[in-house]
Structure 1
Amino acid sequence: MTIPTPLLLLVGVLALVAVVVLWKLLATAGLIGLAQWVVITQTEDPTAVLVVVGVPALVLAVLIRRAATRTGHRAGLLFPRSARRLEVTR
């Protein structure tokens, strides 16, 4: 059984996109972790430690909250035509 070439190309492109996104995520997490490690090991100021640990946590909390509260066509889950149809029938 042979796999069609367009399907192989699609799988290859999707795998490449996944690797790029994962690499960016890991690089960002590594830089944040490195910055936290440097500040925590080099200073004894509790305010600096609180800022370096708290700011990324707050940003992540805001992003998770935004992702969790997005519904319907605002999140891109519905096509505009079907979203208009839903609004008319309500």
Structure 2
Amino acid sequence: MSKLSRRDFMKSSMVAGAAIALASPYSKVRGANSDIRMAVVGVGGQGGNHMKYFGESCKGARLVAICDADRSHVENRAADFEKKNGVKLKTYT
């Protein structure tokens, strides 16, 4: 039985891990469903900040719907989002 040093074990593990990590993106086919579709419930203060983040800088995710108990919040936020991002959101109250 050969003795495997800790250093050799770590090298082998890192090589195997790198091979798996590099091979996996090529094995997946990205389709129409690759984006994460998000909804924000409660579009007052903090919810408005979430909408801004999803509209501007969240790669791989898109905002598709908003909901709030106050219809005026929903209407105002949806109009602002469409004006700024060119995306019409589904709205719910």
TM-score over 0.5 (shorter chain): no
More strand by share: 2
Higher helix share: 1
Q: Could you tell me the TM-score, scaled by structure 1's length?
A: 0.30
Query: Taking CA–CA contacts closer than 8 Å with sequence separation of 6 or more, which of the two structures ends up with the larger relative contact order?
Result: 2
